[in-house]
Amino acid sequence: MNKYRCIFQMGLEYALEYRFDFLFSMISCIFPIIIQFFLWSAIYLQPGASIDNGYTYEQMILYTLTAGFVSKLVIGGFEYEINEDIKNGGLNKYLIRPVHYMRYYFFSFLGKKVPSAVILLSAVAITTGVAGIALKTAISPVHILFFLVSLVLALILNFCLMFCIAMYSFWVTDVSKLFGTISIVLVVLSGGVFPMDLFGNVVRTVSHILPFCYTTQFPTDILTGRLSQNAIVSGIAIQLLWIVLLVFIGSLLWKKGLKRFISAGG
């Protein structure tokens, strides 16, 4: 376990290497939140407007303020490194080391997320706190606790999801551009831009079955106070179920993919 602690620390140090980049990247996630804040305010506060989309104005503002940060926190990024490892033969060094490849990236991923988590969770606490006072809506401590639990699970779930997608590199040599497309589509499907529940019953039903919305929309919905305790517990159970399933699929793809690995360039 000691080696994985070192990998975790390495990830943490790596994330802090380019501090300006890190700071600017954190600031950049505020801009879409501002756009959506104005958009929803303009829609809901229109005189005579009666918006029936399952969200009250207060819930939508809380969702907007939180989803952008949550989406930024859970997002992957390591898939490009895996693609490079497989494409250029850098995977060799991991194969001869006494580390498990998936666990190596998992702990490195967690380490890289620590600085983002501290800043983004502080931002969530400040913005939702201020919004709560301004909109006169209180977030209960139970919901905050459930939010934190579901957020940790969302982080793990997104890692598993991206690891499975990264395994595609064994079959296609260079998929780096494809990862870009997949990441953006996943942000949309996870509710990182708008809640998927807005887009009709069919989209809502499908999105609640698939794992994507459990990475962003579900934790965010908990904080907005939109979900009942039963819905929260069943949502957390679904998160756990998807994690187990994706770990299994990821391991299977790793074993199958490794047989195709030709160590080109290594």
- Which residues contribute to the site for another protein (CB under 8 A)? 18, 20-25, 27-32, 34-35, 38-39, 42-43, 46, 49, 51, 53, 177-178, 180-185, 187-188, 193-194, 198-199
CB of 214 to another protein, least distance (A): 19
Of 195 and 235, CB closest to another protein: 195
Of 41 and 92, CB closest to another protein: 41
Of 3 and 204, CB closest to another protein: 204
CB of 82 to another protein, least distance (A): 18
C-alpha distances (whole Å) from 48 to each of 44, 45, 166 are: 9, 8, 49
Q: What does the alpha-carbon distance between residue 193 and residue 178 come to, in Å, rounded to a whole number? A: 20
Of 178 and 249, CB closest to another protein: 178
Q: What does the alpha-carbon distance between residue 121 and residue 102 come to, in Å, rounded to a whole number? A: 26
CB of 37 to another protein, least distance (A): 10
Of 28 and 263, CB closest to another protein: 28
CB of 204 to another protein, least distance (A): 13
Of 22 and 80, CB closest to another protein: 22
| Alpha-carbon 77 to chain mean position | 11
CB of 158 to another protein, least distance (A): 17
Cβ-proximal residues to 247 (8 Å cutoff; 6+ apart), any chain: 102, 160
First to last CA, the chain: 28
Q: What does the alpha-carbon distance between residue 86 and residue 266 come to, in Å, rounded to a whole number? A: 9
Q: Which of 218, 38, 176, 22 is nearest to 112 (CA)?
A: 22
CB of 22 to another protein, least distance (A): 7
| Residues counted in the chain | 266
Of 197 and 232, CB closest to another protein: 197
CB of 125 to another protein, least distance (A): 22
Instruction: Return the exposure string of 198-212: e unless at least 16 CB atoms fall within 10 Å of the residue's CB, then b.
Output: eeeeeeeeebeeebb
Are 85 and 184 a contacting pair, CB within 8 Å? Answer: no
Torsions phi, psi for 49 (to 5 deg): -80, 135
